[in-house]
Amino acid sequence: MKRVLSGIRPTGDIHLGNYLGAIQNWISMQDQMDENLFCIVDLHALTTLEDVKNLVGNTRIMAAAYIASGINPDQSTIFVQSHVPAHTELSWILSCITPMGWLNRMTQFKEKAGKQRENACLGLLAYPVLMAADILIYKATHVPVGDDQKQHLEFTRDIAGMFNREFKKDIFPLPDPIIKGPATRIMSLRDGTAKMSKSDTSDYSRINLMDDADTLALKIRKAKTDADPLPAQVKDLEARPEAHNLVNIYAALSGQTADQVCKTFAGSYFSTFKKDLTDLVVAKISPIGQEMQRLLKDKGELDQVLSRGSMRANTLAETHMQEVRDIVGLLKPDEGVNRTRQMDVLKSIA
């Protein structure tokens, strides 16, 4: 059984990095896998509360982005993480076998906490445990993500192995990270050494899926580059991170390798290359943005997709959660006794 699970935090404008690093791979896997689950990980958004604006709106925007990009809700399960309580239940159980040393080594925690390590919230430190639960609760076998999530995926495999050994049951498959293509790490348009990110304060650092054609053209025109022409081979771009990034974006959107792009544009200056890149970005991204705008006009329809998704996700997650409760040795509630107690309480109130 090949089952895919992946997700994005609804923390702001969904950008080209999210699309090329994650969603494009989800779409290519849709037909190849037995089951696909795509989650909007709203509980993860709470780990950086300062960045959380309009969580409800952003959750719907993310659902619209998934569908507009090509995730078919009749074929794949699209749902919201907080609608499936088993994620947090499993997260707690996993956190009880997670060594603190493993969490302290996570580079994303170090980057996000920065110098405020002592004041950083527990949720930010525990983020990888919840992410492991997101994946393991569905016994997912494949997880398509961008390069920045590599360490969290290794952590998930380690924790799954540890749980299986600790309880002497092969319950969790070790999920395979799918990190592929020329766009596993799209960089900021303003700084080729920083990841394109929703939380970057400069909107000119990223290409948003909902940017209109004029904004896309302006952002690419303003993107940082250098005065040298493009080389014939991508290896000669190693010391030119901004130029390398734009070539990677062109390659990913046109379905070519970065070397093929270099060959085509060898000797051209960025003034020429940027014009072709703009045409390509507008042709690929504008229709997605327009479809998102259309989908967002009918919130009822979007909410229905999410509620259908959460029904499927809950059914699967609860089946696996029951196995986990049995394995760790939690007492099952006796339904008969529970009902009698409820009646007693109701009588005492009456």
Residues designated as active site: 112, 195, 198
Told to check if 98 binds ligand AQP by CB under 6 A, we report no
For ligand AQP, the closer CB: 148 or 276: 148
Told to check if 177 binds ligand AQP by CB under 6 A, we report no
Answer for which of 8, 133, 209, 277 binds ligand AQP (CB under 6 A) is: 8
Cα–Cα–Cα angle for 240, 106, 25, rounded to 5 degrees: 60
For ligand AQP, the closer CB: 38 or 270: 38
Sign of CA dihedral 189, 190, 196, 202: negative
Contact (Cβ atoms closer than 8 angstroms) between residue 249 and residue 280: no
Told to check if 198 binds ligand AQP by CB under 6 A, we report yes
Q: 3-state class of 149 per DSSP? A: helix
Told to check if 192 binds ligand AQP by CB under 6 A, we report no
Instruction: Report which of 24, 292, 3, 13 is spatially closest to residue 146, judged by C-alpha positions.
Output: 24
For ligand AQP, the closer CB: 134 or 321: 134
CA 217 vs. chain centroid, Å, equals 26
CA 214 vs. chain centroid, Å, equals 27
Told to check if 146 binds ligand AQP by CB under 6 A, we report yes
Binding region for ligand AQP (CB under 6 A) out of 30-38, 85-93, 181-189, 272-280: 181-189
Residue nearest to ligand AQP as judged by C-beta position? 21
Told to check if 185 binds ligand AQP by CB under 6 A, we report yes
Told to check if 18 binds ligand AQP by CB under 6 A, we report yes
Answer for which of 84, 145, 209, 253 binds ligand AQP (CB under 6 A) is: 145
Tokens 């997880």 belong to 143
Helix (H) / strand (E) element for 177: namely strand 176-178
Q: Give the total of residues touching ligand AQP (CB under 6 A).
A: 20
Answer for which of 3, 4, 5, 9 binds ligand AQP (CB under 6 A) is: 9
Q: Provide the minimum distance between the beta carbon of 336 and ligand AQP in the complex, in angstroms, as a whole number.
A: 43
Told to check if 212 binds ligand AQP by CB under 6 A, we report no
For ligand AQP, the closer CB: 42 or 163: 42
DSSP annotation string for 13-77: --BHHHIIIIIHHHHHHHTTSSEEEEEE-HHHHGGGGGG---HHHHHHHHHHHHHHHT--TTTSE
Instruction: Show the tokens assigned to 285.
Output: 């991204």
For ligand AQP, the closer CB: 19 or 163: 19
Told to check if 87 binds ligand AQP by CB under 6 A, we report no
Q: Long-range CB contacts (< 8 A, 24+ apart) of 276-279?
A: 276/250, 277/220, 277/246, 277/249, 277/250, 278/216, 278/217, 278/220, 278/221
Q: 3-state class of 258 per DSSP? A: helix
Binding region for ligand AQP (CB under 6 A) out of 32-40, 77-85, 184-192, 318-326: 184-192
For ligand AQP, the closer CB: 69 or 184: 184
For ligand AQP, the closer CB: 134 or 172: 134
Instruction: Report which of 272, 80, 161 is spatially closest to residue 153, judged by C-alpha positions.
Output: 161
Q: Provide the minimum distance between the beta carbon of 347 and ligand AQP in the complex, in angstroms, as a whole number.
A: 49
Give the interface with ligand AQP as residue ranges (CB under 6 A).
8-9, 11, 17-18, 21-22, 51, 145-146, 148-149, 184-186, 195-199
